[in-house]
Structure 1
């Protein structure tokens, strides 16, 4: 990693600001008498800024209660994103591990750890996701059994994988799926002639949305939650 890139990610300063500091001699690198901005760093090599040691920040793992109207993106010219709900110091290098539609609420996990994110989102890992679904029309036992067995979505030639469907009320169910097809939950209910009018994600894998978080609020994941993925 180049020295200027390392310092920018460690301090939050711009590359331009970092280059000025290096040019002033305010940055020292172990074994380098006169480091330059493009000096390559070796793993474990010490770096100091104004006499203070500099290290890369650790990976960040957050859960967020996404409100409706917010998009799961790192940048959007028209809508608020999940990153807009975080303070500036937490946004750097963080991305949502998986997505929710703009009108869907509930649990979103954000991280700067690409490998951890991949374990959550890769189809090979089949991470379970539980949704609370409100429907326009009553749900029959046949509807629930069809969701459990797998339904054929419009425009596709393979049915969905078996799901867990538990009735909550006449028009509400808890649906757990292990895939991430486009608008999958809405399309599954549409395949049964019903319409989703409310969708809320409660859990991803072993991580459940903290009931203490109001829409728009977030917290750090615990070590147990991080290790459970």
Structure 2
């Protein structure tokens, strides 16, 4: 059932992105209270859920996004925000227990540099610069490397199930997670919505009204 405090448009954008964020953090990242979590792509569809869910699980959250989206990421609860056009998350002294990289393009070497020695890196979403594996270059290399290093490196595929939808519903009704919708389009303008998403400017989700 739809969370009581959501519009139908908001409810429509929960499923895949919300489940991806929940399963990345809870199941694959094993997030714990007090851990330092870095979300790369924090202003996007999955990222806005990941920031809020990580906070709900008690983590200290740093979001990475562009200049125009810093305020958004801060408004949904991130403790720290890194503007990637000005600062490099891998160059500072901060090390993270868990890094969720959502469709980014940072090298595996840079991502590992920002991890604690026993930290976890999860890469989700394809990249535009994957040369020989159709956009999943880093994911494959992360899985190959992981058994030989102290850090846990990998990727995963979201699994749709009713139990996790109930978890999301409870988080939403408790006010801990709120879907972020950037724009809505009528069905007749669906191609325009797709182009907008492909341009990479979306702040949260884009909904098509049927």
Please classify the TM superposition score into its range, dividing by the shorter chain length.
Answer: under 0.3
Give the structure with the larger helix fraction.
2
Bigger Rg over Cα: 1
TM-score, length basis structure 1 = 0.22
TM-score, length basis structure 2 = 0.24
Greater length-normalized contact order (CA 8 Å, ≥ 6 residues apart):
2
